Amino acid sequence: MGFGDRLSQAVKNRKNAVCVGIDPRLNQLPSGLREGIHDEQGAADAFLTFSKMIIDVVAPLVPVVKPQSAFFEELGPLGVVALREVNRYATSKGLLVILDGKRNDIGSTATAYARAYLGQSSPFGADALTVSPFLGADSLEPFVDRCVEADAGIFVLVKTSNPGSGFMQDRVVDGSTISERIADLVQEKSLATASSPDAYGSIGCVVGATYPEQLAAMRMRMPNSWILIPGYGAQGGGASDVVHGFDENGLGALVNSSRGIIFAHENPKYGSFNDWQRAVEEATKDMILELGS
């Protein structure tokens, strides 16, 4: 079963499209986890413990988690080892893993990235990887090939949620914006990896909740592509914005929340819970309800 079909099944099984981003920041960890940390080893251990405890809470509730590679890489090699263990632990709990690394290069270097990250037999064991398209169409081919080989997926940056994204992504070239040109390429590759003409393929895209009109247009432009939607919650996107990413059957999109869930203990709404994991659970359940309403 290809990644597009596996993701469809996972979303159907959990009856929601919530993706929990795992973005550990040392100064925001619950107090009991950040005390007594004096070096990179202590920080890496704390990140691993925190991430596993998040996974324990959300695994029965959501289909997907998205570890952010940068926060682990910040700790150097020890953090990278922790990231690998987080991916494996999430897989062992039945979750699909999207590694947010935004990698790419050309030729054999892109192939090396694809083999390092994609597929449960790879060193990092991710089911999918976020990928930058800005080196050109040929730079995506090694990732597409690896997706087919390893039943994995990629999410290509099409329209990102940050305020400055329009500097490049909204530029018009030959009558289309750069985002639209990338979207057409993503749709082509996704259709080619789909199990049927009306199924979702293994080549998805990233479109931010902070641009709902473009999200709606991209849903129509890429009917065979899963859309990973950042920007929900802390960045300002709401349920009324992300609804534009879904198809008529309530499929086709994943909505990511990181800070709003993993650091829910900082939110006064959940501050009454003495157990920070309970705050995570309640925040996750609230998001599921918001998206389902």
Active site (annotated) includes residue 102: yes
Q: Find, among 3, 1, 26, 8, the residue nearest to 254 by Cα.
A: 8
What is the C-alpha separation between 196 and 140, in angstroms, rounded? 22
What is the C-alpha separation between 63 and 171, in angstroms, rounded? 35
Whether 58 and 20 have beta carbons less than 8 Å apart is answered as yes
Angle at 102 between CA 77 and CA 190, to 5 degrees: 135
Q: Find, among 21, 27, 19, the residue nearest to 43 by Cα.
A: 27
Q: Which of 52, 93, 102, 285 is catalytic?
A: 102
Q: Find, among 21, 35, 141, the residue nearest to 86 by Cα.
A: 21
Whether 283 and 261 have beta carbons less than 8 Å apart is answered as yes
Structure tokens at 126: 């991710």
- For the annotated catalytic residues, the residue numbers are 102
